Amino acid sequence: MNQRRRSAYVPQEIEPKWQKIWADRGVMKAADTSTKPKYYDLVMYPYPSGDLTVGHARNYVMGDILARLKRMQGYEVLHPFGWDAFGLPAENAAMKRGGIHPQTWTIENIAKGKRELKMMGILYDWDREVSSCVPDFYHWTEWLFLLFYKRGLAYRAMSPVNWCPVDKTVLANEQVVNGRCWRHPDVEVEKRDLEQWFFKITDYADRLLDDLALLEKWPTKVRVMQTNWIGRSEGAEVDFPIVGHEGESIRIYTTRPDTLFGATFMVLAPEHPLVEKITIDKQRADVREYVEKARKASEIDRLSTERAKTGINTGAFAVNPVNGEKIPIWIADYVLMTYGTGAIMAVPAHDERDFEFARRFNLPIREVIAPPGGPQRDLSEAFVGPGVMVNSGEFDGLESKVGFDRVIAWLENKGEGKRAIKYRLRDWLISRQRYWGCPIPIIYCEVDGIVPVPAKDLPVLLPEEYKPLSENPDFFKTTCPICGRDARRETDTMDTFVDSSWYFLRYLSPTDTTEPFDPELANYWMPVDQYTGGVEHAILHLLYSRFFIKVLHDAGMLEASEPFMRLFNQGMVKRFGQVMSKSAGNGVSPDELVAKQGADAGRIYEMFIGPPEEDVEWNDAGLNGVVRFLQRVWRLVIEPDSIVVGGSGADPVLLRRKVAQTVKNVTDDYEELRFNTAVAYLMELANAMQDYLQQGGARDESWDHAVRTLVKLLNPIGPHIAEEMWERLGERSMLADAQWPEFDAAAAAEPEVTLVVQVAGKVRDRLSVPAGLSQDQALEKALGSDRVKAALDGGGPSKVIYVQDRLINLVP
């Protein structure tokens, strides 16, 4: 019997069987013409690095559970998959492997990854698979670039850009982390002046910010991160005339116009265009030296708040428009050319940075906002809070909040300034000096200038030969579409975040040869109902995708104005304290897992291991618990005879109740992505069923119901074993087609509840009472208890608190 038992559940036999059946029957194919409600279940498409471990698979298992659940619940489910296939790693890997083509490497990895996903029992509609590096896809990335260009949202500009010396390409601001390249945390980014393509995401700053309010089902953390990233601030721009330069003035931006009277000097960024012009002769040499040094200083040094402030006086003066005061103009690198106007008015009494600077260079500090307790006696630090305006002429006595608007009104009236809103967000630099990316479909003609490639000539194909596009005349030599003269193609390619900003639309009509996506289908499927992926994309990818959707919405191509309704960021799987990866040598591959314990055990373990949003530590012993659970389930369902009976009977009503409660708990947990507790409830049910049999419970209708319900509830998370058991139960239809169990509230209700009696907050007795007892009856019961009487110490309760019908609290 032991032998028979042990050979009973063999995942290695049943898993390939069902994977084949699902594929043959096209179980996860999404129909575009369906009367069912739709559910678009999206997982972030991965970079095909060839490093797929069970850690990555955890994310896809979550998506798969939802897809299978929603399918059983009667939704038309779209669960597609694809590959973020352009990008640098392919070029680097190709180089390492002696000049093989990035495409070869990429295609190999895609094949490998696909096999491993299937092996884990994760079902996608593979007919819709997309890959950003194939012409069928990047044709439309180019097309979308041209759409942006036509709408004035793509422009070319010379600007100081972030240059990664290792990747030999520019980076978007978002790809610079602490002054270093996002791919190489030990490599400092350099500044270079280059002419590059940008997307004008700043035009959408307000909408990207405001619409965050619509994304209620996004994690607060991600919404906060996006809010901070966009960094909206309200204030005023003010012009300070320059003494001795008739008609010239310096425009500054401030968020505190109410402190204008406290401006005792001005500071320009070293790169500010007026620096050369206004600097007096005596200071010229020193100023030039300072500017030169600042230019060389790396971003990381410059941004360090630890560093003492540096700066230099230009010798020039400006006039404060509110009081006509002459104030000196300084230069300092703590003022950034890339934010605001690149110039500030310094109010040392009410700004920490200005304060520090004034102290260091002995510049005057004048208090113009009095804190609640009245003016400060000693100005030992900047007071940055709100207060009452002082030393501010006609504005004296105003609350700073009121003064804010009054001063702006005054400035606008005099034509000296205006209300202004600034953002931290910068435009998105999309040019990359790389081969393995989507070509930018632009031609430069000496006569006609920047000429977009006509739509009929798309796609601009990457040349087969793997070498820099700018060194490949077969690629860049072309003729002008307008005048026919010799012209040169743009040889930069696009940031791969452009591809990933719209890939989820391509799934909807992946073979469409006339447009990037079918608007009608997009209006059926979009927005995405559930998007699952790593929190590392909380800013870049999600912000860019939101921007794309808004542009497409404005272009009339899409009804949706937000791409993803519900977002979930899953945690990472670690092993030996480190994030699991093949290259780190701590990876567990799907191959190993499936061969040893099976895909189902692996899937369930990955969900049971901890809360889905938390990082978790993989531990091989824990996996055994899940294997035991599956063996127990198998025995209960397939071989209940093998269970030793040691009792004289068990109540089927109790079994039904447990089943009904489990339906509720597991369904809710799956829907809210609380997979760890969903598994716990399934285990509880299996334990209860085992107890039932051991106590001699009848294998009647209630038992049958329990068995079938357990199998169904198990299906999304452990689909192979569930499907096999379903078949062996003699069911004719596939479990994948079965209906999700309905919650039976009546069966789930407890007829008896435990009445917990507290005296002054301490539990004194527990009494089993019928549910729905009136509160007076409950009190009577409670007072009938000797232990309660003893605790009340003779006297009766002076106060009684009832909570639901299960708890009663007596206060002596």
Contact set for RNA, span 519-558 (CB under 7 A): 539
Binding region for RNA (CB under 7 A) out of 82-90, 200-208, 562-570, 617-625: 617-625
Stretch that binds RNA, among 17-25, 525-533, 628-636, 647-655 (CB under 7 A): 628-636
Using the rule CB under 7 A, give the single segment among 134-142, 239-247, 434-442, 685-693 that binds RNA: 685-693
How far apart (Å, rounded) are the C-alpha atoms in residues 236 and 230?
Answer: 18
| Min separation Cβ 638 and RNA, Å | 14
Contact 39, 512 (CB under 8 A): no
**CB closer to RNA, 135 vs 610:** 610
- Is residue 574 a contact point for RNA (CB under 7 A)? no
Unique residue bearing structure tokens 């040869």: 513
d(CA 316, CA 521): 63
Report the site for RNA in 407-436 (rule: CB under 7 A).
422, 424
Order across the sheet with 76-78: list the strands: 76-78, 38-43, 530-534, 567-570
C-alpha–C-alpha distance, residues 241 and 253, integer Å: 14
| List 362, 513, 648, 804, residue binding RNA (CB under 7 A) | 804
Secondary structure (DSSP) of 117-138:
HHHTT----GGG-EETTSHHHH
Question: Please, which residue, 747 or 800, has the CB nearer to RNA?
Answer: 800
384 binds RNA (CB under 7 A): no
Q: In terms of CB distance, is 465 or 750 closer to RNA? A: 750
CB of residue 785 vs RNA: minimum separation in angstroms?
A: 11
Burial environment of residue 378 by CB neighbours within 10 A (0 to 12, 13 to 18, 19 or more): exposed
Residue 362 interacts with RNA (CB under 7 A): yes or no: no
Least gap, CB of 355 to RNA (angstroms): 10
Nearer to RNA, 268 or 487 (CB): 268
By CB under 7 A, tell whether 9 contacts RNA. Answer: no
Task: Indicate the helix (H) or strand (E) that contains 566.
Answer: none
Distance between CA atoms of residues 559 and 519, nearest Å: 9
Q: Which of 144, 263 has the CB closer to RNA?
A: 263
- Distance separating alpha carbons of residues 543 and 552, to the nearest angstrom: 14
Instruction: Give the footprint of RNA on residues 163-202 (CB under 7 A).
Output: 177-178
Supply the minimum distance, in Å, between the C-beta of residue 225 and RNA.
5
**Contact between 811 and RNA (CB under 7 A)?**
yes
Q: What is the largest CA-CA distance in the chain?
A: 108
HSE of 533, CA atoms in CB hemisphere, 13 A: 20
Does 616 bind RNA (CB under 7 A)? Our answer is yes
Strands (E), 676-759: 752-759
> Counting contacts by CB under 7 A, is residue 8 touching RNA?
no
Q: Smallest gap, in angstroms, from Cβ of residue 84 to RNA? A: 20
Q: Does 680 bind RNA (CB under 7 A)?
A: yes
Count of residues engaged in binding RNA, rule: CB under 7 A: 87
677 scored as a contact of RNA (CB under 7 A)? yes
Distance (Å, whole) CA 603 – CA 57: 9
Bridge-based pairing of strands 762-770 and 265-268 is unpaired
List C-alpha distances in Å: 507 to 65, 83, 129, 195, 459.
20, 11, 7, 34, 19
Rule CB under 7 A: choose which of 694, 727, 744, 770 binds RNA.
Answer: 694
- Separation CA 343–CA 304 (nearest Å): 19
CB of 706 to RNA, least distance (A): 16
**Residue 526, exposed/middle/buried by CB under 10 A (0-12, 13-18, 19+)?**
buried
Restricted to residues 738-777, the positions that interact with RNA (CB under 7 A) are: 754, 756, 758, 760-763, 766
For RNA, which is the closer residue by CB, 372 or 761? Answer: 761
Binding residues among 255-294 for RNA as defined by CB under 7 A = 255-256, 269
Query: Which of the stretches 117-125, 523-531, 574-582, 680-688 binds RNA when contact is defined by CB under 7 A?
Result: 680-688
- CA 626 to chain CA centroid, Å, is 30
Contact window for RNA (CB under 7 A) among 19-27, 509-517, 587-595, 618-626: 618-626
And the tokens for 168? 């030999």
Subset of 205-234 contacting RNA (CB under 7 A)? 220-221, 224-225, 228-229, 231, 233
